[in-house]
Amino acid sequence: MHIHIFWDSLSPPGLQVPVTRTISAIIGVPATVSENPVRIMGYVNERRQIDAQVLLESIHAYKHRHSLQEPLLLVVRQDLFKNGNSFVFGLARQTAGAAVVSTARLGNEFYGRDGNDDDLMDRITKEGAHEIGHLFGLEHCDNQECIMFRPDTLDELDRKKKMFCPACLELLEAHLTPD
Protein backbone atom coordinates (compact mmCIF):
# COMPACT_ATOMS: atom_id res chain seq x y z
CA MET A 1 0.00 0.00 0.00
CA HIS A 2 1.19 3.48 -0.89
CA ILE A 3 -0.31 6.98 -0.97
CA HIS A 4 0.38 9.36 -3.86
CA ILE A 5 0.18 13.08 -3.11
CA PHE A 6 0.17 15.43 -6.08
CA TRP A 7 1.01 19.03 -5.15
CA ASP A 8 -0.27 21.61 -7.62
CA SER A 9 2.22 24.28 -8.68
CA LEU A 10 -0.08 27.05 -7.37
CA SER A 11 -0.24 25.47 -3.89
CA PRO A 12 1.97 26.92 -1.14
CA PRO A 13 5.61 26.01 -1.89
CA GLY A 14 7.94 24.41 0.62
CA LEU A 15 5.29 22.55 2.60
CA GLN A 16 5.04 19.44 0.41
CA VAL A 17 7.60 17.26 2.16
CA PRO A 18 6.63 17.96 5.79
CA VAL A 19 2.92 17.58 4.99
CA THR A 20 3.55 14.29 3.17
CA ARG A 21 5.70 12.89 5.98
CA THR A 22 3.14 13.81 8.64
CA ILE A 23 0.20 12.38 6.67
CA SER A 24 2.19 9.17 6.20
CA ALA A 25 2.84 8.99 9.95
CA ILE A 26 -0.82 9.63 10.83
CA ILE A 27 -2.17 7.03 8.39
CA GLY A 28 0.67 4.56 8.88
CA VAL A 29 1.19 4.09 5.15
CA PRO A 30 4.17 5.26 3.05
CA ALA A 31 3.47 8.34 0.95
CA THR A 32 5.31 10.24 -1.75
CA VAL A 33 4.74 13.71 -3.11
CA SER A 34 5.28 14.91 -6.66
CA GLU A 35 4.32 17.79 -8.89
CA ASN A 36 0.72 17.61 -10.03
CA PRO A 37 0.25 16.22 -13.57
CA VAL A 38 -3.59 16.17 -13.35
CA ARG A 39 -5.50 18.73 -15.38
CA ILE A 40 -7.51 21.00 -13.06
CA MET A 41 -11.10 20.75 -14.28
CA GLY A 42 -14.42 22.10 -13.00
CA TYR A 43 -13.83 25.84 -12.65
CA VAL A 44 -17.13 27.73 -12.39
CA ASN A 45 -16.73 31.40 -13.34
CA GLU A 46 -19.84 32.64 -11.54
CA ARG A 47 -18.61 31.19 -8.23
CA ARG A 48 -14.87 31.64 -8.79
CA GLN A 49 -14.50 28.13 -7.43
CA ILE A 50 -13.79 24.63 -8.66
CA ASP A 51 -16.50 21.99 -8.49
CA ALA A 52 -14.71 19.38 -6.39
CA GLN A 53 -16.80 16.55 -7.82
CA VAL A 54 -15.72 17.42 -11.38
CA LEU A 55 -12.10 17.62 -10.24
CA LEU A 56 -12.40 14.17 -8.63
CA GLU A 57 -13.58 12.84 -12.01
CA SER A 58 -10.46 14.33 -13.60
CA ILE A 59 -8.26 12.65 -10.97
CA HIS A 60 -10.08 9.36 -11.51
CA ALA A 61 -9.54 9.60 -15.29
CA TYR A 62 -5.82 10.29 -14.73
CA LYS A 63 -5.52 7.28 -12.41
CA HIS A 64 -7.27 5.08 -14.97
CA ARG A 65 -5.05 6.26 -17.86
CA HIS A 66 -1.90 5.62 -15.84
CA SER A 67 -3.08 2.39 -14.15
CA LEU A 68 -2.68 3.83 -10.65
CA GLN A 69 -4.39 1.67 -8.05
CA GLU A 70 -3.16 3.38 -4.89
CA PRO A 71 -4.98 6.26 -3.17
CA LEU A 72 -4.24 9.69 -4.62
CA LEU A 73 -4.58 13.05 -2.87
CA LEU A 74 -4.37 16.25 -4.92
CA VAL A 75 -3.53 19.50 -3.10
CA VAL A 76 -4.70 22.64 -4.93
CA ARG A 77 -4.77 26.35 -4.13
CA GLN A 78 -8.12 27.05 -5.77
CA ASP A 79 -11.28 27.25 -3.64
CA LEU A 80 -13.57 24.20 -3.88
CA PHE A 81 -17.31 23.65 -3.61
CA LYS A 82 -19.74 20.81 -4.08
CA ASN A 83 -23.46 20.99 -4.71
CA GLY A 84 -25.24 21.91 -1.50
CA ASN A 85 -22.16 23.53 0.07
CA SER A 86 -20.81 27.03 -0.43
CA PHE A 87 -17.31 25.58 0.01
CA VAL A 88 -15.46 22.45 1.10
CA PHE A 89 -11.96 22.19 2.55
CA GLY A 90 -11.64 18.89 0.71
CA LEU A 91 -13.56 15.98 -0.78
CA ALA A 92 -12.92 12.29 -1.38
CA ARG A 93 -14.47 9.60 -3.52
CA GLN A 94 -13.63 6.18 -2.16
CA THR A 95 -14.75 4.31 -5.29
CA ALA A 96 -12.23 6.32 -7.33
CA GLY A 97 -9.48 6.22 -4.73
CA ALA A 98 -9.21 9.97 -5.24
CA ALA A 99 -9.29 12.96 -2.92
CA VAL A 100 -8.65 16.68 -3.18
CA VAL A 101 -7.80 19.35 -0.61
CA SER A 102 -7.88 23.10 -1.21
CA THR A 103 -5.50 25.42 0.62
CA ALA A 104 -7.65 28.48 -0.26
CA ARG A 105 -9.44 28.64 3.11
CA LEU A 106 -6.74 26.97 5.19
CA GLY A 107 -4.43 29.96 5.39
CA ASN A 108 -4.84 32.68 8.01
CA GLU A 109 -4.79 35.34 5.29
CA PHE A 110 -8.22 34.28 4.00
CA TYR A 111 -9.64 35.35 7.38
CA GLY A 112 -7.70 38.61 7.64
CA ARG A 113 -5.12 37.18 10.05
CA ASP A 114 -1.34 37.23 9.76
CA GLY A 115 0.02 34.36 7.68
CA ASN A 116 1.67 31.46 9.48
CA ASP A 117 3.22 28.51 7.63
CA ASP A 118 2.98 26.27 10.71
CA ASP A 119 -0.79 26.83 10.91
CA LEU A 120 -1.16 26.21 7.18
CA MET A 121 0.96 23.05 7.26
CA ASP A 122 -1.03 21.73 10.24
CA ARG A 123 -4.37 22.34 8.49
CA ILE A 124 -3.31 20.84 5.14
CA THR A 125 -2.04 17.79 7.03
CA LYS A 126 -5.26 17.34 9.01
CA GLU A 127 -7.52 17.82 6.01
CA GLY A 128 -5.36 15.61 3.81
CA ALA A 129 -5.29 12.79 6.38
CA HIS A 130 -9.07 13.19 6.81
CA GLU A 131 -9.76 12.79 3.09
CA ILE A 132 -7.37 9.84 2.81
CA GLY A 133 -9.22 8.28 5.76
CA HIS A 134 -12.35 8.37 3.59
CA LEU A 135 -10.43 6.58 0.82
CA PHE A 136 -9.78 3.79 3.33
CA GLY A 137 -13.49 3.50 4.14
CA LEU A 138 -13.75 5.68 7.22
CA GLU A 139 -16.85 7.82 7.78
CA HIS A 140 -17.14 11.09 9.69
CA CYS A 141 -16.63 10.80 13.46
CA ASP A 142 -18.47 12.63 16.26
CA ASN A 143 -15.27 12.99 18.30
CA GLN A 144 -14.24 16.63 17.70
CA GLU A 145 -10.56 15.80 18.25
CA CYS A 146 -10.48 12.88 15.78
CA ILE A 147 -8.96 13.41 12.34
CA MET A 148 -12.25 12.06 10.88
CA PHE A 149 -14.40 14.77 12.50
CA ARG A 150 -16.01 16.92 9.79
CA PRO A 151 -15.14 20.57 10.49
CA ASP A 152 -17.40 23.32 9.19
CA THR A 153 -15.12 26.11 10.36
CA LEU A 154 -11.42 26.79 10.59
CA ASP A 155 -11.66 26.82 14.40
CA GLU A 156 -13.17 23.31 14.35
CA LEU A 157 -10.34 22.17 12.07
CA ASP A 158 -7.77 23.71 14.41
CA ARG A 159 -9.27 21.86 17.43
CA LYS A 160 -8.76 18.48 15.75
CA LYS A 161 -5.67 16.51 16.67
CA LYS A 162 -3.40 14.89 14.11
CA MET A 163 -4.58 11.43 15.09
CA PHE A 164 -7.50 9.05 14.86
CA CYS A 165 -9.71 8.35 17.86
CA PRO A 166 -9.45 4.72 19.09
CA ALA A 167 -12.61 3.64 17.21
CA CYS A 168 -11.50 5.14 13.88
CA LEU A 169 -7.96 3.83 14.33
CA GLU A 170 -9.36 0.33 14.82
CA LEU A 171 -11.41 0.64 11.61
CA LEU A 172 -8.39 1.98 9.70
CA GLU A 173 -6.14 -0.83 10.92
CA ALA A 174 -8.77 -3.39 9.99
CA HIS A 175 -8.88 -1.94 6.47
CA LEU A 176 -5.09 -1.86 6.11
CA THR A 177 -4.48 -5.33 7.52
CA PRO A 178 -4.82 -8.02 4.85
CA ASP A 179 -7.06 -10.96 5.72
Q: Which residue in the list 131, 145, 156, 170 is annotated as catalytic?
A: 131
List Cβ neighbours of 100 (8 Å cut-off, separation of 6 or more). 52, 55, 56, 59, 73, 74, 75, 76, 80, 90, 91, 92, 131
**CB count, 10 Å around CB of 76?**
24
List C-alpha distances in Å: 14 to 10, 18, 57, 117, 176: 12, 8, 27, 9, 30
CA–CA separation, 45 vs 99, rounded Å?
22
Residue 171, Ramachandran bin (φ over 0: left; ψ between -120 and 50: alpha; else beta): alpha
131 annotated active-site: yes
List C-alpha distances in Å: 5 to 32, 49, 167, 168: 6, 21, 26, 22
What are 34's strand-pairing partners?
Answer: 6
Report the catalytic residues: 131
